[in-house]
Amino acid sequence: MNCLQRLSVRVKLLLGFLSVSALCGLVGVISISRIGAINACIFDIYDDEMKGTVAALEAKYALACIARDVRDYTLVDDADSRKALGDRIKAHQEKFVTTFEVADETTGDPEDRVFVDQVNNAYSHYSTGIARAQQVASLGDKEDALRIVQELAASADAVTSGAEELVRRKYVDARESYELSEATYSHTRLLVTAVVIGTTVLGATLGLLLSRWIARAVAEVDEVADVVAAASKQLASVSEHLSSDAQQTAASLEESASSLEELTATVRQNADNAQHANQLVTTSRATAERGGAVVTQAISAMSEIHRSSRRVTDIIGTINEIAFQTNLLALNAAVEAARAGEQGRGFAVVAGEVRNLAQRSAAAAKEIKVLIEDSVQKVEVGSELVNRSGETLDAMVASIGQVTTIVGEIAVASRRQTAGLEQLGKAVVQMDQATQSNASQTEEMSGTAVALSRQAEHLQQVVAQFNLKKDPPGKKPLDEPNAAQAPLGPDRATAKRKSPGNTTRRAALPPELMTVGAADHGAFEVF
């Protein structure tokens, strides 16, 4: 029963009609089969028994006619009469042979074949005797012909008794076939009556069950149609509210997308400026590093100059000592020349010149020493300044490296911000498209809800044709306008959505619409 209840109405109706049709077909098959059996019995009665019986009786009658004509043939003297009787005897003989052949063909029972053979054997002897009697009578010997005819009486009696017994057995067989056909008819009548009664009971039972199932199903469809009609009306109202909200959300997302595009353009420009500044700082850092290298080289050169100046000072000191020794030697030479008198005068002059040169060399060496000492002091001051410049350039290079790192990080962060804002812009555009799509879908859903409401009303009208003893669709309270279903404007919809009383309205919805507009509702997964 549970399996039948799970079947559809179409399958149930099909099974019901197929069951009734199968039973009717069974009745037809049984009737045809039994009628065929009865027809076979009747055919046996006609083809075997009746034809054989008639043929045997006709053969018996032909034999009687032959016996009469043969007796008359032996008694007449007129040739014409004998010729006529001879023709009649021949005709009756042919009639006997023809008719008994039919009896022979329709006899298949071995017990009946005994009498058929008896008739054939007896008739063969009888026909031979008749020919001899006709021949003797034709010669004029009537007494001998009558004697032969009397001798053939036993054969004629054998033919007659065999034919009569065959007729009797044919009658018995026909009676048995009739009784078999009558029994078949009685059995068929009982069987067909039982099947017809069973078919009627089954058809009535199936009709009752199907009518109950269909009535219950139509009642459930009617209830579902009521629920669908009410839900579709409320769904239309909710769809209008959702469509209005979706349109407002789409407008807000469009404005947000425009502002985000402007912000993205500004951040992209800042990223480009940061990249350019990073390149300039990198160039400045390279220039500062080259200046530091030059200053380092200058410091090395000043150190070499300072060392060279020290060496020059030492050399000048050596030259000064040599001039001093030369001056002493020249003085000693002048003293010796003075002692020598007139002979040493020329040497005294040379010694004087050498002394003058030594004095001048000493004076020049002193001046050069003073100048070199002054240059060494200035070189020392310059070296100190160059060292300070190198330290300052090193500090500048380090600062420029830090600035380069910071500017590079700013450029990288700006590029990341630009990429993030671009992705955010794409997301906002997708949200805008999704919102517009949801708006159009909610509008379509609203139209679908209206169409569903109309179809539900039409379904109620169709269900009302089944006469379920309910109010007609035009009188159902679901056609009455509901205050909660009145369309709201955007402002009223926003206020309605923000007001605490909205939970009461949602609670009043049927269970099918309780999740409409919820955050986890399947229809809003696109958000």
For 290-338, give the DSSP string.
HHHHHHHHHHHHHHHHHHHHHHHHHHHHHHHHHHHHHHHHHHHHHHHHH
Contact 298, 386 (CB under 8 A): yes
pLDDT confidence of 505, banded at 50, 70, 90?
Answer: very low
Q: How far apart are CA 8 and CA 221, in angstroms?
A: 13
* Residue closest to 12 by CA, chosen among 220, 196, 217: 217
Instruction: Give pLDDT, residue 523.
Output: 40
Residue 374 structure tokens? 């002054």
Identify the residue whose tokens are 């069974």: 26
Q: How far apart are CA 69 and CA 134, in angstroms?
A: 10
The length of the chain in residues reads: 527
Instruction: Give pLDDT, residue 201.
Output: 86
> Could you read off the pLDDT of 332-373 as tens digits, one per residue?
877 777 777 777 767 677 777 777 887 777 788 778 878 877
The string of DSSP codes covering 176-198 is: HHHHHHHHHHHHHHHHHHHHHHH
Judge if 2-216 and 243-440 fold alike in CATH terms: no
> Could you read off the pLDDT of 404-431 as tens digits, one per residue?
788 778 878 877 877 887 787 788 778 7
Topology of the domain covering 243-440: Helix Hairpins (1.10.287)
Q: Which of 30-44, 215-229, 275-289 has the lowest mean pLDDT?
A: 30-44
**CA-to-CA separations, 259 to 249, 266, 437, in angstroms, rounded:** 15, 11, 22
Instruction: Give pLDDT, residue 123.
Output: 76
SS3 for 416-478 is HHHHHHHHHHHHHHHHHHHHHHHHHHHHHHHHHHHHHHHHHHHHHHHHHCCCCCCCCHHHCHH
pLDDT confidence of 171, banded at 50, 70, 90?
Answer: confident
Ranked by mean pLDDT, the top range of 80-94, 211-225, 348-362, 499-513 is 80-94
CATH class of 2-216: mainly alpha
Residue 239 has pLDDT above 50, yes or no: yes
Q: How far apart are CA 286 and CA 216, in angstroms?
A: 94
pLDDT confidence of 518, banded at 50, 70, 90?
Answer: very low
Instruction: Give pLDDT, residue 492.
Output: 40
Q: How large is the average pLDDT for residues 301-324?
A: 78
Residue 291 has pLDDT above 70, yes or no: yes
Contact 255, 349 (CB under 8 A): no
User: % helix / strand / coil in the chain, to the nearest 5?
Assistant: 90, 0, 10
Ranked by mean pLDDT, the top range of 135-149, 185-199, 296-310, 320-334 is 185-199
Residue 512 has pLDDT above 50, yes or no: no
Residue 524 has pLDDT above 50, yes or no: no
Instruction: Give pLDDT, residue 469.
Output: 56
Instruction: Give pLDDT, residue 84.
Output: 85
Instruction: Give pLDDT, residue 4.
Output: 59
Domain ranges of the chain: 2-216, 243-440
Identify the residue whose tokens are 């053939």: 152
Residue 478 has pLDDT above 60, yes or no: no
Over the chain, what is the mean pLDDT?
72
The string of DSSP codes covering 31-90 is: HHHHHHHHHHHHHIIIIIIIHHHHHHHHHHHHHHHHHHHHHHHHH---HHHHHHHHHHHH
Instruction: Give pLDDT, residue 1.
Output: 52
> Could you read off the pLDDT of 264-289 as tens digits, one per residue?
788 778 877 877 877 887 887 788 77
**CA-to-CA separations, 492 to 94, 242, 335, 495, in angstroms, rounded:** 121, 13, 136, 5
